[in-house]
Amino acid sequence: MQNPAYATTNVATRPRPDATPRAAHNALASILTPADIVLDLDVATKKRAFDEIARFVSTRHALLAEDVRASLVEREKIGSTALGHGIAIPHARVPGLSQPVAAFVRLKISVPFDAPDGKPVSDMLVLLVPEDATDAHLQLLAEVAEMFCDRPFRERLRACGHATEVHAVLTRSQQR
């Protein structure tokens, strides 16, 4: 059973003057590479997106795809990980994982995701953490969620056409 304290809160409604915290960019840069980015994933449902994400992440990080998929599905049962504005941050604790793992996935066509604003999701930042995730992992999740609340940040991200550009925006390795 997942820990309810790990549930994502809807931070999309909280204004923040600087919605791209430096700590989140630095922490994300330590676990996300351009090879962890998938653009134009062609799926029609959230279930299929989770299936493909699990397959991708399991191949990249030597995990069992079923463990990744089941963990994402179980977490989603607690409540949608969609933030609104076409963004979701599917996240879960995964058995056998020793270090956090991240992947960014852009769907070819937006899919329904039970978002608070009712909009379908096209961009997902997937965060997977060990079963004994620490407060630092929870802080990363909160900071990443806040990053996506910034409209100019989302626009810069959506303007990217290549994995290296997406990586640069997500990790702030390029100037605004």
Q: Is 162 a catalytic residue?
A: no
Q: Alpha-carbon distance 167 to 81, whole Å?
A: 21
Measured CA distances, 81 to 22, 124, 159 (Å):
23, 9, 23
Measured CA distances, 119 to 31, 36, 77, 114 (Å):
28, 25, 19, 8
Of the candidates 175, 176, 171, 174, the one whose C-alpha atom is nearest the C-alpha of residue 28 is 171
Measured CA distances, 162 to 110, 153, 167, 169, 171 (Å):
18, 16, 9, 11, 14
Query: Greatest CA separation found in the chain?
Result: 41
Of the candidates 150, 127, 122, 153, the one whose C-alpha atom is nearest the C-alpha of residue 139 is 127
Catalytic residue among 25, 85, 91, 137: 91
- For β-strands 101-111 and 121-130, DSSP reports them as antiparallel
Residues acting as catalytic residues = 91
